Amino acid sequence: MTPLDYDYLRKLLKDRSGLMLSAEKQYLVESRLSPLARKAGLASLGELVAKLKSNDERLIVDVVEAMTTNESFLYSQFEVQRGLPIQMLVKYFAQIGDTWQIAPDIRAMAQFRPLNLLADFVGLGRFDVIFCRNVLIYFDQETKTGVLNRIGRQLEPDGYLVLGAAETVVGLTDAFKPVADKRGLYAPNKDKLKPASAVTSFAAVRPFAVAGAR
Ligand SMILES: C[S@@+](CC[C@H](N)C(=O)[O-])C[C@H]1O[C@@H](n2cnc3c(N)ncnc32)[C@H](O)[C@@H]1O
């Protein structure tokens, strides 16, 4: 892949998903996208980039999906033993072979929908708790701030936001304040939530599948 091809892919991924790739991540892009190029019958990553430039939407979505780290799995025995009391495991989960899955009656209460975090959240409704774990780490500061402010407007005033252990709102927005002694837990800063009209508009972005938080 030429440096120009790599720059094109970096910009595409930033615009479509917020994913920031540094100059030295070319090897990662090559290892993730080579199988995709082969599957699409393309001889090289150069050809893949040429096809992306022709605005092949399906291929663009496939490239974004291949590059965003899909990490959710429903759960192994090891994972369910990390802090989940056995009574809750038995009550709320079903064993499927070597793994555990949330019980069907609980799963039936969930609605699964694709959402691009770069897009507007209007129409999603308001939530008592929002889990947004281990994705802000891939974004630059400005994108993190935008996502957090939009999340803030979807949360009930007495609701909570749960971020990943390596993530924080500190230095990004005053829409939330950390809950004392609860790592990763944030409460809305009621006086500081900005009205929707104060927010910059967004470029049209195509939604893509979001893996469930865990
Ligand atoms: C490292 S995984 C974390 C998954 C899960 N929340 C967890 O903690 O196990 C990052 C997830 O963010 C998703 N993602 C990346 N960019 C996104 C965007 N712009 N909008 C929505 N989801 C995105 C990826 O598809 C991937 O599922």
1-45: pLDDT as tens digits: 899 999 999 999 999 999 999 999 999 999 999 999 999 999 999
> At how many degrees (to 10) do helices 57-67 and 3-17 cross?
90
Are 112 and 133 within 8 A, CB to CB? no
Percentage with pLDDT > 90 across the chain: 79
Closest CA to ligand 1's atom 12: 135
Q: Whose CA is nearest to atom 9 of ligand 1?
A: 72
Looking from the CA of 70 toward its CB, the CA atoms found within 13 Å total 13
More confident site: 162 or 212: 162
Instruction: Give the mean pLDDT of 107-124.
Output: 92
Using only the alpha carbons of the chain, give its radius of gyration: 20
Query: Does the fold of domain 113-209 match that of domain 3-67?
Result: no
Give me 17's structure tokens. 């998903």
**CATH code of domain 3-67:** 1.10.155.10
Q: Which residue in 199, 174, 204 sits closest to 186, CA to CA?
A: 174
Does this model's pTM top 0.75? My answer is: yes
164 CA closest ligand 1 atom index = 8
Residue with tokens 């910059």, as numbered in its chain: 200
Going from N- to C-terminal start, the domains of the chain cover 3-67, 70-109, 113-209
Per-residue pLDDT reduced to its tens digit, 160-183 = 999 999 999 999 999 999 999 999
Is 143's C-beta closer than 6 angstroms to any atom of ligand 1? no
| Class for the domain spanning 113-209 | alpha beta
CB count, 10 Å around CB of 98? 7
Q: What's residue 203's pLDDT? A: 41
For ligand 1, atom 22, which residue shows the shortest CA distance? 210
Q: How far apart are CA 95 and CA 79, in angstroms?
A: 13
- Ligand 1 centre from 210 Cα, in Å? 6
